[in-house]
Homo-oligomer: A and B are copies of this chain.
Amino acid sequence: MFAISLGDDGAELRPLEPYHAEEYLAHIDRGREYIGRFIGLADVCTDLDSARAFLRSYAEKAADDSGRLYGIWTADGTLVGGVLFRTFDAAAGTCEVGCWLEEAAVGRGLVTRAIRVIVDWAVEERGIHRVEWIAAAGNAASIKVAQRLGLVRDGVQREKYARGGVRHDVEIWSVLAPEWRELRAGAR
């Protein structure tokens, strides 16, 4: 029912819910290898039941106001990725945002546009003060999004994250509400 236009190319941001399980699984199956290079998202979605369970875990976070999940659909109605609040703590004024995308949809700025939408909401409507972006140090695409959005690197958690038998450094980037407002004002 609800949708937010992400620009002239017809892409839209919508809530991604348990009833999208089949569509989500098909999308993850297309992007499994590419998405799985740095993040575990695709690992927990291997069939319809696990897809539904994952989407449902975020529906429960939404009910708790502790996390939210949004899908990105292209003009032809294909779910190609999404953005999320991995954590959301209105009382503490903090949240962590993240994203994923199947390879075919890379390079159009979809994630950057979508992140702007949800950070605007977090900062302007929900009073979030600090927005975090966390990425494996080797995930150049993710770090590039953080940079493009104007975030600042707070530090590197050394060897924080194990994936594929290797431990990776993890970068923490952030933007504070006043900085975000300035960035948005400058962008206009």
Contacts and interface: CB of A to CB of B under 8 A. Distances in A.
A1 B117 contact: yes
A24 to B, nearest CB: 14
A177 to B, nearest CB: 9
Interface in A135-188: 152-162, 167, 172, 174, 176
Nearest to A15: B2
A150 to B, nearest CB: 14
Q: Can you tell how many copies of this chain the complex includes?
A: 6
Interface stretch (A25-33, A43-51, A88-96): A88-96
Counting chain A residues whose Cβ lies within 8 A of the other chain, the interface size class is 35 or more
B174 A157 contact: yes
Nearest to A91: B162
Interface in A10-42: 14-15, 17-19
Contacts of A161: 92
Contacts of A152: 158
A62 B65 contact: no
Contact of A172 (B2, B130, B155): B155
A9 interface: no
Contacts of A129: 159, 162, 167
Interface string A74-108: 00000000000000001011100000000000000
12 contacts: A1-B121, A1-B125, A18-B65, A19-B126, A60-B60, A62-B63, A93-B167, A152-B158, A154-B155, A155-B157, A155-B172, A157-B174
Given A18-B65, A154-B156, 18 more contacts: A1-B121, A2-B2, A2-B3, A2-B15, A15-B15, A17-B62, A18-B63, A59-B62, A62-B62, A93-B162, A93-B167, A94-B160, A130-B158, A152-B158, A153-B155, A155-B172, A158-B174, A158-B176
